[in-house]
């Protein structure tokens, strides 16, 4: 049976920068949820940068008795604030959300890069999870494989070389679904295939020497899993939709 997942990322609900760009982030979030319903998808994974603190209650209210929600934290998220609403995978000692689960021929790993780094405790845990005999799917906020772009220069995961080295030594295929860069990207490296998903809020154009905002489009990713195979596509939306 085919499993369909909607990955949403970088909502930045009610944040000032989005408002300065003339973007109604709540309307875009609702448009994405409406499209997910139209696609008849019943599972959502959010890969971080959710909302201003006072808007978290609004975000989590959308999932009460509707969609199963999985979550990773981004660099704009606070563990203590999110923990009031979401506790799955919580590690109180390090104030991080991370976990793994074995389901339907895949190992799912959810990582926490809210501090722009994977800390030593989480890194040791990740190493112990990579001895899987089944393909691994990682959901996280930051990309691990770098891009030759300005946004990568200023927003990269601080210890990504260390993380990449760990992943490329795993004996199985690894698929990463992430966000953070507000764009669509697909790139492969050795046993790793990384997919960056567009933001629900706004996009960043792919330039080597500047950061340029595209406020006209937004979207999410539809992931389909069936009999050990993984496929995905971007669902683009626009303000005119």
CATH number of the domain residue 159 falls in:
3.60.21.10
The residue range of the domain holding 116 is 3-238
Query: What is the average per-residue pLDDT within 113-127?
Result: 97
Q: What percent of the chain has pLDDT over 90?
A: 91
Environment class of residue 166 by beta-carbon count within 10 Å: exposed (0-12), middle (13-18) or buried (19+)? Answer: middle
Rounded distance between C-alpha atoms, residue 169 and residue 190, angstroms: 9
Note whether 108 and 137 are within 8 A (CB): yes
Whether residue 103 is predicted with pLDDT greater than 70 in this model: the reply is yes
CA distance 180 to 153: 13
Average pLDDT, whole number, for the chain?
A: 95
Q: Which residues contact 161 (CB under 8 A, 6 or more apart)?
A: none
| Each residue's pLDDT tens digit, 165-208 | 999 999 999 999 999 999 999 999 999 999 999 999 999 999 99
Q: What is the pLDDT of residue 239?
A: 73
Q: List, in sequence order, every residue forming a beta bridge with 110; answer none if it has no partner.
A: 99, 139
pLDDT at 135 over 80: yes
Mean pLDDT computed over 15-34: 94
pTM of the model: 0.97
Q: List Cβ neighbours of 1 (8 Å cut-off, separation of 6 or more).
A: 226
Burial 81-93 (b: 16+ CB within 10 A, else e): ebeeebeebbbee
Q: What is the pLDDT of residues 224-235, one digit of tens each?
A: 999 889 999 999
User: 234 pairs with which residues across the strands?
Assistant: 221
Token pair belonging to 142: 């930051």
Structurally, the chain folds into a number of domains equal to 1
Which whole number is the average pLDDT over 88-105?
A: 95
Query: What residue has token string 């800390």?
Result: 119
Q: Tell me whether residue 58 is exposed, middle or buried, using C-beta atoms within 10 angstroms of its C-beta: 0 to 12, 13 to 18, 19 or more.
A: middle
Give the torsion sign (CA, 109, 110, 116, 117): negative
Q: Which residues contact 126 (CB under 8 A, 6 or more apart)?
A: 98, 109, 111, 118, 163, 166
Q: What is the mean pLDDT of residues 102-124?
A: 96
> CB pairs under 8 A, 24+ apart, for 186-191?
187/145, 187/147, 189/145, 189/164, 191/167
Contact 237, 200 (CB under 8 A): no
pLDDT above 70 covers what percent of the chain? 99
Closest CA to 146 of 111, 110, 123, 180: 180
pLDDT greater than 60 at residue 240? no
What confidence score (pLDDT) does residue 150 get?
97
Q: Is the pLDDT of residue 115 over 80?
A: yes
pLDDT recorded at residue 1: 76
Return d(Cα 199, Cα 101) in angstroms, integer: 26
| Token couple for 28 | 């875009």
pLDDT score, position 241: 56
């Amino acid at each position: 049976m085919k499993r369909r997942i909607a990955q949403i990322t970088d909502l930045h609900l009610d944040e000032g920068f989005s408002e300065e760009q003339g973007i109604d982030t709540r309307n875009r979030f609702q448009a994405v949820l409406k499209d997910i319903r139209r696609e008849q998808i019943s599972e959502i994974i959010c890969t971080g940068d959710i909302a201003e603190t006072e808007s978290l209650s609004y975000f989590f209210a959308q999932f009460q008795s509707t969609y199963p929600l999985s979550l990773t934290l981004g660099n704009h998220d606070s563990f203590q604030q999110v923990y009031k609403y979401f506790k799955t995978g919580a590690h109180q000692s390090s104030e991080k959300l991370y976990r793994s689960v074995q389901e339907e021929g895949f190992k799912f790993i959810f990582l926490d890069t809210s501090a722009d780094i994977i800390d030593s405790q989480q890194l040791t845990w990740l190493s112990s999870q990579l001895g899987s005999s089944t393909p691994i799917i990682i959901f996280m906020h930051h990309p691990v494989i770098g891009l030759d772009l300005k946004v990568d220069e200023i927003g990269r995961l601080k210890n990504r070389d260390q993380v990449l080295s760990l992943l490329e030594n795993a004996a199985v295929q690894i698929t990463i679904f992430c966000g953070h860069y507000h764009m669509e990207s697909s790139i492969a490296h050795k046993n790793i295939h990384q997919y960056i998903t567009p933001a629900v809020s706004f996009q960043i154009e792919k330039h080597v020497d500047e950061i340029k905002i595209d406020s006209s489009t937004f979207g999410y990713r539809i992931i389909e899993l069936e009999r050990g195979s993984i496929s995905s596509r971007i669902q683009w939306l626009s303000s005119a939709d």
